[in-house]
Amino acid sequence: MSSPGDILDLISRGDAGTRAELARVTGMARSTVAQRVDTLIAYGLVEEHETGASTGGRPPRVLRLATERNCVVGVDLGATHCRVALMDIGGRLLADREDPLRITEGPEPVLRHIDDRMHELLAQAGRPLAAVKAIGIGVPGPVEFATGRPVNPPIMPGWHEYPIPDYFTSRYDLEVLVDNDVNALALGEVRHGSTAADNLLFVKIGTGIGCGIIAGGRLHRGAQGAAGDIGHIRVPGADSAACRCGNTGCLEAVAGGAALAARLTQAGVPAADGRAVVDLVSSGDPMAVRLVREAGRDIGDVLAGLVNFFNPEAIVVGGVMAAAHEHLLAGVREVIYQRSLPLATHRLTVAPTEAGEAGGALGAGRLAIDHVLAPDNIDRALAAHAAGAAPAAR
């Protein structure tokens, strides 16, 4: 029999919008449906409105998520930026802001910045703090998803095993989920971009290189959350390229934005970072164009193996270097279609992201929404509320 969490799932996905439709879809008695729906309304997760079209007689009452009373915060942390987004639990963006912020400042200053921005966005949107049910955070390094702790993140000194969720849960009555930033980007792409694919690789090419994997419509993290760390796959013939992970010949040490900027600077073409490389490409600098196209080929060589292994429908490229997609993707496509099996590439698309700069924060917000609305989590919260162990939704 469908639980209240299952009923909420049907409502949130748009599969049923009235009590009668819920009874038809679930096969439950109307009295049972009424009990489940009334519980969700009392807990503040669902609202009922008389706006349905009438087929004769009284118009049906339409069920919707209580988006005014429930929201989440999505955070995209990069090496040098922080974007915070406030979303309702229906996925609508209410307010967002991006600021320059170096992850190397350490956990306390960075998390305090997120906390401050959250309060500012709530005030801007006219929502109370009590409406925030969860925070999703994407960070630029490996994360043990079950605990929300970064594990030996190369570009995040001072963050190793730092309990990020505790910073917020010790202050507020909410839940916190922490994931690798490229996983959040992959979620943002499939939920807020135009890519309708159940099997997708999202490749972030910025300071480093990483890959988010959508398999069968679900985010795939692997056993410990390390799936998709393609930036540290060895590139043949690149043993002289030292990587910040301690190895040599890693893909990001050869084709990442920081590596390209360093090579240009050494050749007498100053470039501070990946964004500067993109600017040089946009201005037509021949050396920058050549290096970016070569980087595309190196990345394509790694992705060709993944295409043969995983057989995705789409490869989406994001990150700061994606702004040079005309030259970067030319190199990527060249090698993928040359090295991958014809069946695997028959309908494969390789394209730049369409989720925009907010994709990471929106994906992190979706991570939080999916957690809040998960049927098992809803059922546990309702059981605790019924037992008097938790307050009603605020």
326-341 pLDDT, tens digit per residue, is 899 999 999 999 999 9
Q: Which helix (H) or strand (E) holds 165?
A: helix 164-169
For 71-187+358-373, which CATH superfamily applies? Answer: ATPase, nucleotide binding domain (3.30.420.40)
Contact 82, 99 (CB under 8 A): yes
Q: Summarize pLDDT for 120-147 with one digit per residue, the tens.
A: 999 999 999 999 999 999 999 899 999 9
Read off the pTM.
0.89
Fold agreement between 4-66 and 71-187+358-373 = no
Q: Which residues of 357-369 are buried (b: 16+ CB within 10 A; e: fewer)?
A: ebbbbbbbbbbbb
Domain boundaries of the chain, sorted by first residue: 4-66, 71-187+358-373, 196-352
Give me the pLDDT at residue 394, please.
45
Q: Which CATH architecture has domain 4-66?
A: Orthogonal Bundle (1.10)
Residue 229 three-state SS: coil
The pLDDT of residue 52 is 52
Residue 143's contacts (CB-CB under 8 Å, 6 or more residues apart) are 149, 150, 151, 178, 179, 180, 225
Q: What is the mean pLDDT of residues 2-31?
A: 91
For 244, the 3-state DSSP assignment is coil
Instruction: Identify which of 164, 99, 92 has the alpha carbon closest to the alpha carbon of residue 135.
Output: 164
Fold of 196-352: Nucleotidyltransferase; domain 5 (3.30.420)
Q: What is the pLDDT of residues 250-288, one digit of tens each?
A: 999 999 999 999 999 999 999 999 999 999 999 999 999
